[in-house]
Structure 1
Amino acid sequence: GGRLIDFVQFYVISLMSGCLDPKTESAFLDHVIDHESGIYYTYDSKLKLLPPVFESKQASHYLAAIELLSAFPQAKYKLRFVLDWLDKNKNANGRWDMGGSVSDKVYFPLSDYWRKREMREADCTERISNLIAAISN
């Protein structure tokens, strides 16, 4: 007995969207974003700290955590720093390419074929554009 489970985990967060009043949701998101060990099952570092390498599996997992939080109405205010980071990581074509290492068969690839850089870039751009739209609305 006496075992406590941290509520900053994928399942709890995915169920909380739309259930909290704005003030409580704001405090909840602040807590999650500043939580030392990230979101259990999704990302294992503090969300306030951006991944050091954009073209990495770590950054893809970071995006998964941000996608989870983007379902909260208060996210558009709390996650602006993520939008700035994404904007800084566009390539010369105004698109995103996270590199081949992000292929984890969960979030990537979206396409059947990633041997061409253009397909990988299209998939990354699709995912990130959807995230930006979710946060910006």
Structure 2
Amino acid sequence: MTRLPYSQDDIEQMAKELLRMEPDPIPRFILLKEFMHLKPTEAAYKRAYEKVLAHPFVVKLEKEQTSHGYWGHFHVDTEAMIQRCLSIGLAPEHPCLSSAVAFIEKVLKGEDIWHQRCEKQDNPRWWLEMFMPLVSAASLSLIHPNHPLLDKHIEVWERFAQAAWATGEYRLEQEKQRQIDYFKINTKRIIPFYNYYAVLFLTSRKEILEASLDKKILSYCLQKKDGMYYIYDNQASVPVPINDTKCFYHWLRLLTILSRFQSWEGSSHSYCRWIWKQRNETGFWDLGKKPRGWYFPLSDSWRIEKNRIIDSSIFVLRLLKQDAAAR
């Protein structure tokens, strides 16, 4: 296996250089927590986190969240805001996340449903009995991957994946039949193992997928011509240059999701080398234009070039540090 062009020490050194740029409160906290490995018990951590809690981004999240624990519609709005909360460094115990968790728990217990109109499908039960529990469970797994309410759902989706690959090759009909048998819903629209929410769920704990199945699913997702619905609509195994800002961002988002697979370490080198080469003359990454979505901004404003470089580099380094740490 070819060596990476960077090490864990290189990643930490880059984080130190970003800190010397005097980043705004949120990116500064992320760098201290995720790259300098400050502990919650340390005074510097507490001071930095207090500034995050008082930040206008967080105040806005708190203000816009309803008393029921969601923002707008659950799908897609609340899903995005949960990821936004986690991305800017909020702890799972933060009121925004704990309130969202309380609502999701009710959904998974059958005590509530999403407060939005059901999407029209070929079977009206699809939305309430197949899609809603999966998306809710996947969202909860991002906050509390070991939550006991997830156990049953994890077992169900693991069995679907096993059925899809029971012969050693992907068999759609076997996957479809297993889902129909379980849900007792006659529908043409199954939710395949490579679906965004299914992948989030199947990779939420290390022990869910047996190693060989984990590797097969990752390989399938990397080679899938139309990428992953909701995330990126091109083949993940084809590198994207950073000057194609929109595609580079969505490509990296997909790789970040796929990096959750246990077998990612054995497949990641070529992608990480390519990403490393996309640095600018200062040695960092600059997406140029802010991509749409929940991830950006981390800094107070992208009108300042320094902030744009800090945010872009954190986005990239969050992926690269996983591989550096594994070497």
TM-score, normalization: structure 1? 0.90
Q: CA deviation at 1:99?
A: 0.9
Q: Is the 8 A contact 2:242 2:278 kept in 1?
A: no
* 1:8 aligns with one of 194, 200, 203: 194
Q: CA deviation at 1:2?
A: 4.5
Structure 2: distance between partners of 1:46 and 1:94: 27
In structure 2, the partner of 1:30 is 219
- Over the aligned positions, Cα root-mean-square deviation in angstroms equals 1.6
Structure 1: distance between partners of 2:231 and 2:256: 10
Write 1 or 2 for the structure with the bigger share of helix: 2
Q: Is the 8 A contact 2:286 2:308 kept in 1?
A: yes
In structure 2, the partner of 1:78 is 267
1:118 is aligned to 2:310: no
Structure 1: distance between partners of 2:243 and 2:235: 16
Structure 1: distance between partners of 2:293 and 2:300: 11
Q: Is the 8 A contact 1:99 1:120 kept in 2?
A: yes
Q: Is the 8 A contact 1:8 1:38 kept in 2?
A: no
Taking a change above 3 Å as real, the CA distance of residues 119 and 84 of structure 1, as seen in their structure-2 partners, is same
Structure 1: distance between partners of 2:296 and 2:229: 20
Taking a change above 3 Å as real, the CA distance of residues 135 and 39 of structure 1, as seen in their structure-2 partners, is farther
Q: Which has the higher contact order (CA 8 A, sep 6+)?
A: 1
Q: CA deviation at 1:69?
A: 1.1
Q: Deviations over 1:43-97 (max 9, x none)?
A: 1111011225544111111111111111122111112121011111011111100
Show the 5 A alignment for 1:47-66: 47-66=236-255
Helix, strand or coil: the match of 1:49? coil
Q: CA deviation at 1:133?
A: 0.9
* 1:99 aligns with one of 288, 309, 312: 288
AA aligned opposite 1:94: G
TM-score, normalization: structure 2? 0.40
Greater Cα offset, 62-71 or 44-53: 44-53
1:132 is aligned to 2:316: no
* Gap runs ≥5 in structure 1: none
* Gap runs ≥5 in structure 2: 1-185
**Which is greater in Rg?**
2
| Percent of aligned positions that are identical | 26
Q: Is the 8 A contact 2:214 2:263 kept in 1?
A: yes
AA aligned opposite 1:24: L
Structure 2: distance between partners of 1:78 and 1:132: 13
Taking a change above 3 Å as real, the CA distance of residues 43 and 105 of structure 1, as seen in their structure-2 partners, is closer
Task: Point out 4+ residue stretches in structure 1 off by more than 3 angstroms.
Answer: 52-55
In structure 1, the partner of 2:230 is 41
Helix, strand or coil: the match of 2:262? coil
Helix, strand or coil: the match of 2:273? helix
